[in-house]
Amino acid sequence: MKRPSMPMAIAGFVLFALVAGGGLAATLSLSQPPRGAASGTLTLSGPAHGAVAAYKGPHEVLYDQTDNPGTDAITSQDFEAANNAYDAQAADDFVIPAADGMWTIDEVYVSGAYWNGDPGGPSLQANVYFYENVSGLPGTQVYSALGVPSGEAGGHFTIALSTPAVLPAGTYWVSVQARMDYAGGNGQWGWTERTVQSNSASAWRNPGDGFSSGCTNWGNRVSCGTGSDPDLIFRLSGIRGAAELPNIDVSPLALASTQGPNTTVSRTLGIGNTGEADLTWNIAEEPVLRRVVLELDHGVVSPDAVNAPISLVLDDGTRENGIGIGGTYQFIFLNRFTPDAGSYPIALNQVQIYFAEQDMVQVGDEMRLALYENTSGNSNPAIGSNLRATFDVTVGALDAWNTYNLATPVTFNGPGDVLIGVIALEMPGSSYWPAAIDQTASQQRSWVGWWTTPVAPTPPVLPPDDDWTLIDNYFPGNWMVRGYGESEAPCTDLADVPWLSVNPVTGTTAPGASTPVAVTFDSTGLALGTYNANLCITSNDPDPGPGNGTKLVIVPVELTVADVGPGPSVLEIPTLAPVGGALLGLALAGLGLGVLRRRRA
């Protein structure tokens, strides 16, 4: 249907001191000074740069950058909460040749040292990340292993990855952080510099800018004032080429049944294996306390009826206006939520968005949910943000809350911000204001932005490169975008679900085959209502999650016991994508809606 037209309304330095008991306790610094030199009031502690440890197998060295060590070590550390502003990451790049096809990386070695502590270290845990390469700097995160044993040996880490990083040919970046508190005499850990550059020079970031370098996002490390030598000492080991591994493929990724009382319904879950080795798997059940969904007379899900353990809500439920940027460019509108630190980890499993007909939105319009996490503590949600997942959805109802159940819940480890963004993908070329806004009492947590190109980039990394602003700078209010979830990671409280049965619960699936599993819903003796559970599938697949590196495949299951008639409109999302001076005017509804106009070059 053609959209009707509608007039638009125009309108090494010492950077931080910790004080305890009235005296200077220690200092945090960007890099380790040469041995024997003073760092503030302290001298360097911890071992000197020792010899590089040899690889001990069992596979082969894939990439070796352990020659030409420098004399300094660069801070790359995940501190305790009191020092989150000083959390920093260093990273260096490497190339997987096209001839190799892919690498299965199961060990990361880095050379390092301690300082500013008494005695200094040890760091028994480390965080390991791999990123795609974007214009000579780290881009999208493609792998993470948090809090893994560091294999610490005098400041040098030999980190075994129990879940290997499987990467196809291309250029990537590896980042290693020591997970170590500064307090208690531990001090700092740093990654040893390398005097010779291979590929791009190493990168660094300090999202909280505690070191006042200005490098809150990835930048050239030396240009950030962090050290003087271009590269870092590291080595990657594992298997070259495609390893013979199983690969689990579960379908569908969510199951549901609406049925009358005292009935049974069976669904089929397929456990497929697209790998090259036998897949062994096991299915466990987990009851889930989900929200209670009530219906209004007109069949719209009531926003006040949600009873989830974690409710992320900024608006008051009433739409006062709609905002757009003209209908010729895609744009993102995003809410910043900050749950209590004690609520983490949080498994987000539902997003709700309000769409209004008078905002020129139509049923079937395409939107993209973009979920980010930010643990930097910065009030600007773009600085230090990490994209966790995207979901493509469509508008299912107008003048109503559209409910999107995430087939695979997204876990946020926190503490920090949960960012829920909506990218309006439609470009009708005319008036279009899809971002419904509540303007009763602004929480000053709703942001909007757009890119220099009409189509949003993939992935939609923040901030957008044209404009990024708190919507209150133009139209104070709160986007009508909400999130709901659980206050603990799914599949951590396994127990029998009385109304659910699974057969078989364990098995072995050969390469290229699929095993059918019967999942039976039994409403016998249950009251009318909605019941939820998870099927928690473990296997010998080293990376079973759909692009997210988890050790589980989680299949949400929902049983609705009803008399007759359809329930509220709930859109199921079948897949998870792997893991992004305006001239403005506002008029009241009926006369015109809020319009953000792009800057013209």
- CA dist 443 and 476 (Å) reads 9
Average pLDDT of 245-255? Answer: 89
Three-class secondary structure assignment of 184-211? CCCCEEEEEEECCCCCCCCEEECCCCCC
**Tens of pLDDT along 197-226?**
999 999 999 998 888 889 999 999 999 988
pLDDT score of 395: 96
List the beta strands (DSSP E) in 260-384.
264-273, 279-288, 310-312, 321-324, 331-337, 346-355, 366-374
Terminal alpha carbon distance of the chain: 33
Superfamily of domain 248-288+491-561: Immunoglobulins (2.60.40.10)
Which tokens belong to 550?
């988890």
- CA dist 221 and 61 (Å) reads 26
The SS3 assignment for 367 reads strand
Phi, psi of 242 (to 5 degrees): -75, 120
Domain ranges of the chain: 45-240, 248-288+491-561, 310-486
CA atoms within 13 A on the CB side of 587: 11
Three-class secondary structure assignment of 434-496? CEEEECCCCCCCEEEEECCCCCCCCCCCCCCCCEEEEHHHCCCCEECEEEEEECCCCCCCCCC
- CA dist 601 and 598 (Å) reads 9
∠ Cα 62 64 66 (to 5°): 155
**Tens of pLDDT along 546-581?**
433 445 788 989 999 998 554 433 333 343 333 333
Q: Is cis: bond before 504, omega within 30 of 0?
A: yes
Architecture (CATH level 2) of domain 310-486? Sandwich (2.60)
Which tokens belong to 492?
């951590």
- CA dist 197 and 502 (Å) reads 56
Best-predicted range by mean pLDDT (209-213, 264-268, 289-293, 486-490): 264-268
Are the beta carbons of 558 and 256 closer than 8 angstroms? yes
Phi, psi of 81 (to 5 degrees): -55, -35
**Tens of pLDDT along 102-137?**
999 999 999 999 888 887 889 999 999 999 999 999
pLDDT score of 308: 52
Lowest mean pLDDT among 51-60, 400-409, 422-431: 51-60
**Tens of pLDDT along 133-175?**
999 999 999 999 999 999 888 889 999 998 889 899 999 999 9
pTM tops 0.85, yes or no: no
Q: Please, what is the average pLDDT of the chain? A: 81
Are 248-288+491-561 and 310-486 equal in CATH topology? no
Q: What CATH code is assigned to 45-240?
A: 2.60.120
Pairing mode of beta strands 310-312, 23-29: unpaired
